[in-house]
Homo-oligomer: A and B are copies of this chain.
């Protein structure tokens, strides 16, 4: 604390991102990045944009990228907002749709950035307890005073909630906005984007950081009714006119258009996830059924933190959350088949030593 800090700074409890070590030979399975590189077409598009025009501001309205995203999801461009990663889109959404004095709801086990935003913007919140099986307690989200936000699939549980339940939550919150944070949806089943034309209180947020291998480029987007998109634009244009640079715009456009590459690497990740899940079960791990690019696992005889520490000693980074209810779980990102073969073999030796 310091006499020059605003009350906003003083009340913050900043988010702590996963470790971003750049050590060589590190197997980095802690921040759910895609193990495959971006599409070659992304590289070409950025290359083509790497010229003297960098001296010029990018488009403040990001029209061409919004149009391409809209086309992909069969929406209109005025139903799409683009931001600097889905984290920025979520921050703008908290400002645009949630109100100090009106309590919002999100699950007690979820993306740990939500309470961080809430503190910064002075929004009160209720952490709704998950069911015993870690699934979302759907009816506890009905009639929220201030709005609802949760990821689907949820993180770090990896569990997908069916659209019928999402519809129930949307229909039972007619006076507030329901934000579905679909960072991992491409590894799961149907997206709630299909509901955007029907429900004016639904905002669906996605990112290019996971399924499109572009965590390093910072592009996320929101889809919803044009009036919700206008609210996000008003906030953005009161904050920073240009949040996505020229190279990122070019790369993101190529990424959304290269559907074949996207399908191929997404299917690869899902196939790897399935065999890894089977192998982990064989060596005594319990897993929640994952619809994401990570697994949320625990072992019947070794503490999760101990596994985390032993793996880290051997240059394998996973993510452990020191939080009630989930402190005996590890979140492990799906890597390539080779990555996961190494992981399984290390886990086997950790377990055998323990016996």
Binding site for B on A (CB under 8 A): 2-9, 12-18, 20, 28, 31, 33-38, 42-43, 46-47, 50-60, 84-85, 87-88, 91, 95-99, 116-117, 119-120, 175-177, 200-201, 209, 213-218, 227-228, 230-231, 233-235, 237-248, 251
Contacts and interface: CB of A to CB of B under 8 A. Distances in A.
A115 to B, nearest CB: 10
Contacts of A14: 233-234, 237-238
Given A238-B14, A241-B15, A4 B120 contact: no
17 contacts: A4-B200, A4-B231, A9-B231, A13-B238, A14-B234, A17-B60, A17-B241, A20-B60, A37-B51, A54-B214, A55-B215, A57-B209, A58-B215, A87-B240, A87-B241, A120-B235, A245-B245
Contacts of A209: 57
Nearest to A228: B4
How many copies of this chain are found per oligomer? Answer: 2
A45 to B, nearest CB: 11
Given A14-B233, A120-B239, A241-B87, A215 B56 contact: yes
B217 A245 contact: yes
A51 B177 CA distance: 39
Given A20-B59, A235-B120, A238-B116, A247 B9 contact: no
Given A6-B96, A38-B54, A55-B216, 17 more contacts: A3-B175, A5-B96, A5-B97, A5-B227, A6-B97, A6-B99, A8-B95, A17-B60, A38-B52, A54-B215, A84-B84, A85-B242, A87-B239, A91-B240, A116-B238, A120-B238, A243-B243
Given A9-B95, A12-B235, A217 B241 contact: no
